[in-house]
Structure 1
Amino acid sequence: MKLLEGKTALIFGLANQRSIAWGIAQAFHEHGAQLGFSYAVPQLERRVRPLAEQIGVNF
């Protein structure tokens, strides 16, 4: 069993692949957490959506 298996996390402030939030999201995903993302402005969706798809997060 993974450390965060069965847990759900909402990651705030995701901006791009260089953001701290992305590093946290990757680590949580590796440990089995189900994730949701939040981003600051609608214009960031074009950057965030491809990252979400990489780890299987469904908006």
Structure 2
Amino acid sequence: MLMKDKKGLIMGVANDRSIAWGIAKSIAKQGGQLAFTYQAEAL
């Protein structure tokens, strides 16, 4: 597993169709640990 024991910060996950979500799925599948950030809609 390429990402085993590695940590990653995924920024900009808007929904399950975003590029960031696809990257996160790939890293998780390869054994990486993830943290996420996102910006909610403006108030």
Q: Normalising by the residue count of structure 2, what TM-score does the alignment of the two structures yield?
A: 0.88
Q: For the aligned residues, what is the CA RMSD?
A: 0.9
Query: Which ranges of 4 or more aligned residues in structure 1 deviate by more than 6 Å?
Result: none
Higher relative contact order (CA 8 A, sep 6+): 2
Structure 2 alignment gaps of length 5 or more: none
2:3 and 2:22 mapped to 1: Cα distance?
A: 16
The structure whose residues are more often strand, as a share, is: 2
Give the paired residue count.
41
The structure whose residues are more often helix, as a share, is: 1
- Superposed counterparts of 1:1-59, under 5 Å: 2-41=1-40
Structure 1 alignment gaps of length 5 or more: 44-59
Q: Normalising by the residue count of structure 1, what TM-score does the alignment of the two structures yield?
A: 0.66
